[in-house]
Structures are given as structure tokens and as C-alpha cells.
């Protein structure tokens, strides 16, 4: 059996298929970004899934596409955790952007971007990925991601840059005690996921002028830093993956057009595309 994982920082979608390409199960666990989650916690989050535990000894191959798996050290850490649970499996750990490529473009040339808890992009030539810049994570990069917008919202609130109506609603929706915020940012695990929890406010208030202006500005920055540098013709298809992209795709299409580009598809969750890809390439 093959176990496939779309591993975000907030959550991981898992799917298992057998040698006849039948789907055995799907499940979801908490995020497994090895850059911000300890090995013990990674292990705990996986084995807490009853479906995964029941089938662990029958898994022959694992294809894990995960946030934070773009460099060798965190990739190695996650691989070691997976090996300790799936002792009979051949395990491949790759970064989430490659999973996004397979789920959207398959084996075709494309530019693919992720706008979820974090953000990233690549150009895929049909064989390998190329990057406009290395991804250095949530603290200094991740433009237009959930955690990026979470930081923007918090700063606007405390700097009193929000409109009165938005300020009242934001204050009602979240615990904005400075001590609690600093505890989550600097002491607890998953600060990027914590920041991204504030981004749901954007989705819930997506028609507000303040929200649309904030999102539009973030998307413009993302295109400038992560899409335009590839300098590819408009014939190269452009795909976006992730909840931020999905729920604000009207603004995303608008920014793409202003950059003389067309978006072929926006996918909220890539697990369906990954299942299809691995069925075709079993």
C-alpha cells in the first residue's frame, strides 16, 4: 500500500491506496512542519491517528510532501520520525511545493505557488523545480501567507491602523492579551500556525474594504517577489494552491491580469490531485 501526505504547517491530509489503486482510507492530523515541531511531537501527532496506526505495518511506500521540508536537516528529522513508525516502508520526504506541482500540473511545465499557512513558489519544467529564491520561512519571508497576514493584522490592531468597525470585531474574535500573544509567538511550538489562525478573520470579513486592501497589497508583493522573477511567457500555466489563494481568488486573478498573466486553476486542498498522480504513477 502507498501512503500519501499533503503536509501543511496547520494540518496534514493523508490518503492510502492499495496496489489495485483503490482508496483504503483518508484521515487528517495536526501539522508536521519539522522546522517548528519537535521530533517527539511529530511522532505523537502521527500515531494519534487511529487509521494510520491500524495500517502502519502494511504500508510499503510513503510519499510525504511537507511544509518545512525544503532543506536537508528538517527533511532528515521528519524521515527519522516516519521510519520509527513505518518500519517496513520505503519513505520519500519532499517539500510541499513539489506536491503542489504534482497535484496541479502533473508532469507538465508550469509555475506553481502555495498560499496557505506559509507561502512558496516554483517553476517546474516537467522534470525538476526551479526557485526564484530559497524559502527562509515565516519569520522573514512567506509573503501573502496566512501567517504573513496574521502579523499584519496584529500590527495594525496594536498600532491602531484598523478602522473602528474592524477593530471592534477583531478584538471580539480573539484573545489579544499581549502576554498571551508573546507566549504563543516566543515560547510555544508552531508560532507560524498561531499567526495563521488570525487569517481566518480575513476570510470571514472578505468583503470589507480594509481586508481587501490588505490582501491586495500582500498579493502584489507576492507576485513581485515570487512570480515575476521567473520571467516566463503567458503560455506557461500558473497554478495556486492553498486556502488563502482559494478564498481570495478574485483578487488573485485581478493581480495576475495586471501582471499580464493568467491563472489556470486555484486549488484549496491538493490531496485529490496527489491521489490521482500516484494512481497514474504507481
Give the tens place of pLDDT for each residue, 219-248.
999 999 999 999 999 899 999 999 999 999
Give the dihedral sign, CA 250/253/259/260.
negative
By mean pLDDT, which of 34-48, 54-68, 130-144, 178-192 is the weakest?
130-144
Tell me if 246 is assigned to some domain.
no
Q: Cell numbers for 52, please give them.
A: 494510520
DSSP classification of residue 117? S
Q: 245: alpha, beta or left, given left = phi > 0 and alpha = psi -120 to 50?
A: alpha
Tell me if 40 is assigned to some domain.
yes
Average model confidence (pLDDT) across the chain: 94
Alpha-helical segments (H) within the chain: 39-47, 50-55, 72-85, 96-104, 146-158, 164-173, 178-186, 191-197, 200-204, 209-222, 243-247, 249-258, 271-280
What's the mean pLDDT in 82-110? 95
Whole-structure pTM value? 0.89
Q: Write the CA distances from 136 to 16, 68, 182, integer angstroms.
A: 31, 9, 22
Question: Would you state the pLDDT for residue 55?
Answer: 94
pLDDT band at residue 281, thresholds of 50, 70 and 90? confident
Burial of 276 (0-12, 13-18, 19+ CB in 10 A): middle
What's the mean pLDDT in 107-128? 94
What's the mean pLDDT in 64-89? 94
Q: Is 275 helix (H, G, I), strand (E, B) or coil?
A: helix
Question: Would you state the pLDDT for residue 140?
Answer: 87
Q: What percent of the chain has pLDDT over 90?
A: 87
CB-CB neighbours of 247 under 10 Å: 20
Q: Which of 192, 244, 189, 190 is nearest to 222 (CA)?
A: 244
pLDDT band at residue 60, thresholds of 50, 70 and 90? very high
Question: Would you state the pLDDT for residue 164?
Answer: 96
Q: Is 224 helix (H, G, I), strand (E, B) or coil?
A: helix
User: Can you tell me the distance from the alpha carbon of 254 to that of 263, in angstroms, rounded to the nearest whole number?
Assistant: 10
Kindly write down the DSSP assignment for every residue of 77-104, as one continuous string. HHHHHHHHH-TT-EEEEEEHHHHHHHHH
Domain span at 6: 2-99+271-280
Tell me if 8 is assigned to some domain.
yes
Q: Is the pLDDT of residue 135 over 90?
A: no
User: Can you tell me the distance from the alpha carbon of 269 to that of 253, in angstroms, rounded to the nearest whole number?
Assistant: 18
Give the dihedral sign, CA 251/255/257/258.
positive
CB neighbour list of residue 215: distance below 8 Å, 6 or more residues apart: 144, 149, 202, 206, 248, 251
Tell me if 46 is assigned to some domain.
yes
Tell me if 32 is assigned to some domain.
yes
Q: State the CATH number of the domain containing residue 82.
A: 3.30.420.40
Residue with the three cell numbers 476570510:
203
Residue with the three cell numbers 489579544:
176
Tell me if 92 is assigned to some domain.
yes
pLDDT in tens, 162-214: 999 999 999 999 999 999 999 999 999 889 899 999 999 999 999 999 999 99
Q: Is the pLDDT of residue 143 over 80?
A: yes
Under a CB-based contact definition with an 8 Å cutoff, are residues 34 and 68 in contact? yes
The tally of domains found in the chain comes to: 1
User: Can you tell me the distance from the alpha carbon of 267 to that of 42, in angstroms, rounded to the nearest whole number?
Assistant: 26
Q: What percent of the chain has pLDDT over 70?
A: 100
Tell me if 83 is assigned to some domain.
yes
Tell me if 16 is assigned to some domain.
yes
Amino acid at each position: 500500500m502507498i501512503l500519501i501526505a499533503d503536509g501543511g504547517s496547520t494540518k496534514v491530509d493523508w490518503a492510502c491506496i492499495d496496489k489495485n489503486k483503490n482508496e483504503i482510507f483518508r484521515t487528517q492530523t495536526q501539522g508536521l512542519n519539522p522546522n517548528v515541531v519537535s521530533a517527539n511531537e511529530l511522532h505523537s501527532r502521527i500515531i494519534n491517528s487511529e487509521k494510520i496506526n491500524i495500517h502502519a505495518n502494511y504500508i510499503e511506500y510513503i510519499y510525504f510532501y511537507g511544509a518545512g521540508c525544503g532543506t536537508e536537516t528538517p527533511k532528515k528529522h521528519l524521515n527519522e520520525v516516519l521510519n520509527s513508525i513505518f518500519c517496513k516502508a520505503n519513505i520519500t520526504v519532499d517539500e510541499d511545493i513539489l506536491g503542489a506541482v504534482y497535484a496541479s500540473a502533473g508532469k507538465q511545465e508550469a509555475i506553481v505557488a502555495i498560499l496557505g499557512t506559509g507561502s512558496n513558489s516554483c517553476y517546474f519544467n516537467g522534470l525538476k523545480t526551479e526557485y526564484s529564491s530559497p524559502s527562509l520561512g515565516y519569520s522573514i519571508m512567506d509573503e501573502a501567507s496566512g501567517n504573513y497576514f496574521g502579523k499584519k493584522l496584529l500590527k495594525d490592531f496594536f498600532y491602531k491602523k484598523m478602522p473602528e468597525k474592524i477593530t471592534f470585531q477583531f478584538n471580539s474574535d480573539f484573545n489579544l492579551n499581549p502576554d498571551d500573544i508573546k507566549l504563543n509567538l516566543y515560547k510555544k511550538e508552531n508560532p507560524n500556525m498561531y499567526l495563521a489562525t488570525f487569517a481566518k478573520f480575513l476570510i470571514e470579513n472578505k468583503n470589507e474594504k480594509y481586508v481587501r486592501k490588505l490582501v491586495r497589497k500582500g498579493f502584489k508583493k507576492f507576485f513581485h517577489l515570487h512570480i515575476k522573477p521567473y520571467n516566463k511567457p503567458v503560455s506557461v500555466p500558473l497554478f495556486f494552491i492553498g486556502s488563502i489563494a482559494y478564498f481570495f481568488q478574485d483578487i488573485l486573478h485581478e493581480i495576475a491580469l495586471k501582471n499580464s498573466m493568467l491563472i489556470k486553476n486555484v486549488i484549496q486542498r491538493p490531496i485529490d490531485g496527489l491521489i490521482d498522480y500516484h494512481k497514474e504513477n504507481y
